[in-house]
Amino acid sequence: MVYRHEWKHIINRSDQLVLQKRLSAVMQPDPHAVEGKYSIRSLYFDTLTDQALREKLDGVSQREKDPLL
């Protein structure tokens, strides 16, 4: 069984702007944001079928991570 590992990265302002531009093409603004924004401390990516989210909601305690992600 392969267990999940987190890798944390600090991104520079240029990378932040590129990421914001790309994500804005596929995401909607959060209606709960204050004045259109709030601080994000972590960003996680999932599969197209939301496997990690579904496992979390289902209470799977030892979730596997696809090595190709």
pLDDT score, position 7: 73
Sign of CA dihedral 10, 11, 12, 17: negative
Q: How far is CA 47 from CA 20, 29, 52, 59, 67, in A?
A: 19, 21, 7, 18, 12
Q: Which residues of the chain have pLDDT under 70?
A: 1-5, 64-69
Task: Give me the residue label for tokens 């090595």.
Answer: 67
pLDDT score, position 16: 92
Q: How many CA atoms lie within 13 A of 12 on its CB side?
A: 1
pLDDT score, position 37: 78
Task: Locate the domains of the chain by residue range.
Answer: 1-69
pLDDT score, position 38: 79
pLDDT score, position 69: 45
